[in-house]
Amino acid sequence: MSNTNNKRVVLITGGTKGIGKEIAFKFAEHGDQCVITYGWGSIEEEDIINEFKAKGLPVPFLKQADVINNEDTLELLTEIKERFGRLDVFISNVSFANLVKSIDDYSEGALLKSIEYSCWPMIEYTRQMKTVFGVYPKYVMGLSSHGPDRFHKNYDFAAATKALNEVLIKYLNYHFYDENVIFNILRTRPVITDSLLSTLGNEWTEFIEKYDIPGTHIELEEFARVAYMMCTGLMDAIRGQTIIADRGYDFAEGLQRMYVDREELGL
C-alpha cells in the first residue's frame, strides 16, 4: 500500500451515522485522522467521540457544516488546514432528496435541491480544496445505490441524483486525470440505516427478515472495508468507475430467486 501508514487526513461529509460513520471507523482503524461533518442539531458531538473512544480509535474532528453553504465549506477546509495541514481523502456521503409518493410530489425546485445537496458538493468541495490547500486530495469517492437501475419506493429523486453522480464521475476522472486525483463511486444494495428506513418505512426491516435469505445482505463493516481499500493505493488503476459491492447477489434477486427458494421463504 502506498500511504496507508502515513496518518492521512480523511474528510467524510455526513459521517456521523450509517454508512458514513462506518467508513470513518474503518479509516480510523488504520490510524487515519477523520474529519466528519454533520448538519445542525443532528447529533451530540460527545456521543460520536465516545463511540470512537470505545473502539480504541483516534478521535475524529467533528464540524457542523452545510454542504451547500460556501461559507461553511471554506471555514471547514480552512480549519482542516490549520489543524492538520493536509487533506488526502474526500468521501462525499451527504445525500438528500425529497420523498416522492406520487407524481404530485414532482417539482423542479425539489429536483434541483436534491441535485444541489447530493451531487454538487463532490465537485465544489474538490475545487475548493485546491484553493485552500494548493493541491487536490488524492482520492475522491461518492456513494451510490442500485436505485438508478431498480425501483425503490419514494426514491425517484434520490435515484436520479445517484445516476447523475455515476455519469459525472467518468467526466470528473477525465478532467482531473492530469492532477492525479482518483474519482470513483462505490455502490451497494440497500443497507439498513436510518436514512433507508426514512425512505422506505420501518416495515422494510420486517419484510427483509421474512423474505430475504440470511447472509445475502452486505454488512456496513464490509462495505466500509471496500471503501477503505479503494483508497489504499492498491486499486489506483480503477478510476472513474462505479464499483458495486453487493456480494454479487443483485444477479440472483427477484421473482426467479423467490421462486427457487420459495420453500425456504415460506411462499
| Residue 91 near residue 141, CB atoms below 8 Å | yes
pLDDT beyond 90 at 162: yes
Sorting pLDDT into bands at 50, 70 and 90, what band is 84?
very high
CA 195 to centroid of chain Cα atoms: 12
- Dmax of the chain from CA atoms? 60
Interval 49-80: pLDDT, tens: 999 999 999 999 999 999 999 999 999 999 99
71 SS3 class:
helix
pLDDT at residue 201 is higher than 80: no
Find cell 459525472 and name the residue: 168
Taking the C-alpha atoms of residue 169 and residue 241, their distance in angstroms, rounded to an integer, is 7
Residue 39 has pLDDT above 90, yes or no: no
DSSP-derived letter for residue 135 is S
Query: Grid coordinates in use for 6?
Result: 502515513
**Under 8 Å between Cβ of 97 and 79:** no
Give the pLDDT band (50/70/90) at residue 207: confident
CA 60 centroid distance within chain: 17
Task: Give 265's pLDDT tier (boundaries 50, 70, 90).
Answer: confident
Q: Is the pLDDT of residue 199 over 90?
A: no
Region 155-173: mean pLDDT is: 95
Distance separating alpha carbons of residues 72 and 83, to the nearest angstrom: 16
| Separation in Å, CA 22 to CA 97, 181, 209 | 22, 24, 22
Arch. (CATH architecture) of 9-204+219-252: 3-Layer(aba) Sandwich (3.40)
Confidence of residue 4 (pLDDT cuts 50, 70, 90): very low
What pLDDT is stored for residue 99 in this prediction? 87
Whole-number average pLDDT of the chain: 89
Pairing type for strands 182-188 and 241-244 reads parallel
Q: Enumerate the domain spans of the chain.
A: 9-204+219-252
